[in-house]
Amino acid sequence: MSLAAPTFSPAALSGSIELPAPVSGQRHEVGSPVGRLTWYSAGPETDAVFPPLLLVHSINAAGSAYEVKPLYEHYRQSRTVYALELPGFGHSERRKREYTVRMMTDAILIAVNEIQNVHGRGPIDALAVSLSSEFLARAVTEMPLAFRSAALVSPTGFSSKDASAKWQDGTRGMPWLHGFFEFPLWSAAFFRLLTSPVSIRYFLRKTWGSDDFDRGLAQYDYLTTHQPGAQHAPYYFVSGYLFSEDIIRIYHSLTLPVWMSHGVRGNFVDYSKKTLVQGRANWTIQVFPTGAMPHFEARDAFVRAFDAFLAGVSPASPE
């Protein structure tokens, strides 16, 4: 992890540089009902012993596959690994349209189907970060035989304020707030302010709980947020449309092995409602002395814990 101060070239600051690949390996694109989807894949030169691993970045103003880069680059040495970029983020389609929980869940299901077209119909392992944990959990409930395990890193839905969430369909969407953000007079200008280098560093400090955030991620966050259409999906996120009211019910319904991890620093440390799943036979919960991106701060410890969990997962498809 580089801790040198992030630098922004004049070309980058003007938004004229094409967005580079967030990770190594082969880039894939497919047209789909949720728009053009992009993901990356890489693996060992010899046949992999383990099933494929799908990685899904978080949802925020600057989401991209770079957020799972430490895990992607590590696991590509031992198994085929995939990093999906969700609709509205990274190299996937970013046009102005409605971004929904259904869209994000479908994107994961489409990626899983494409992975199984390559590797056979056996179940895969999957890992998602933050809010994307909700989409992954929902995808598992809809296609359970496609997943061997689910890893949820700093998942949403477990804070004290989530106690009032309903066990029924719906989101926390606020139409008035979304309308404010997307008002043509200031929509693009406000997003540029939200994603300035100063703002990006501010939000990463809140995520890490310290100034030791990954400088490469800060650089990439700026580049990805200054692509055409970059504001549309994040505005649905900040307006609440991507948070499910029934996510606790979804988490409760998971029967496959689940590995949940989170940190103890920064703004994302309230997991008081994890008691709703803690102690369930299929849930393993790991706490790291880090911020909300433990796979960046403590990659080796994170990998050891994740590998220990995977070692106990049956190779058979869950019932």
Domain span at residue 111 reads 10-14+22-311
Quote the mean pLDDT of the chain.
90
- The CATH number of whichever domain residue 49 belongs to comes to 3.40.50.1820
Kindly state whether residue 1 falls inside one of the protein's structural domains.
Answer: no
Asked whether the predicted pLDDT for residue 169 surpasses 80, the reply is: no
pLDDT of 217: 98
Say how many domains are in the chain.
Answer: 1
207 DSSP assignment = H
Asked whether the predicted pLDDT for residue 14 surpasses 50, the reply is: no
pLDDT of 318: 39
Asked whether the predicted pLDDT for residue 167 surpasses 80, the reply is: no
Kindly state whether residue 316 falls inside one of the protein's structural domains.
Answer: no
Closest CA to 264 of 249, 285, 245, 243: 285
Confidence of residue 46 (pLDDT cuts 50, 70, 90): confident
Confidence of residue 187 (pLDDT cuts 50, 70, 90): confident
Question: CA 78 to CA 43: how far, in whole Å?
Answer: 7
Confidence of residue 182 (pLDDT cuts 50, 70, 90): confident
Asked whether the predicted pLDDT for residue 122 surpasses 50, the reply is: yes
Kindly state whether residue 3 falls inside one of the protein's structural domains.
Answer: no
The burial class, CB within 10 Å (0-12 / 13-18 / 19+), for 11 is exposed
Token pair, residue 116, equals 């199984």
Q: Strand (E) positions, the chain?
A: 26-30, 37-42, 53-56, 81-85, 124-129, 147-153, 258-262, 283-287
Kindly state whether residue 255 falls inside one of the protein's structural domains.
Answer: yes
Residue, of 163 and 195, whose pLDDT is higher: 195
Kindly state whether residue 142 falls inside one of the protein's structural domains.
Answer: yes
Kindly state whether residue 266 falls inside one of the protein's structural domains.
Answer: yes
Residue, of 219 and 176, whose pLDDT is higher: 219
Kindly state whether residue 40 falls inside one of the protein's structural domains.
Answer: yes
Confidence of residue 173 (pLDDT cuts 50, 70, 90): low
Asked whether the predicted pLDDT for residue 4 surpasses 70, the reply is: no
Work out whether strand 53-56 and strand 124-129 pair parallel, antiparallel, or are unpaired: parallel
Kindly state whether residue 138 falls inside one of the protein's structural domains.
Answer: yes
pLDDT digits (tens, 9 = 90+) for 140-156: 999 999 999 999 999 99
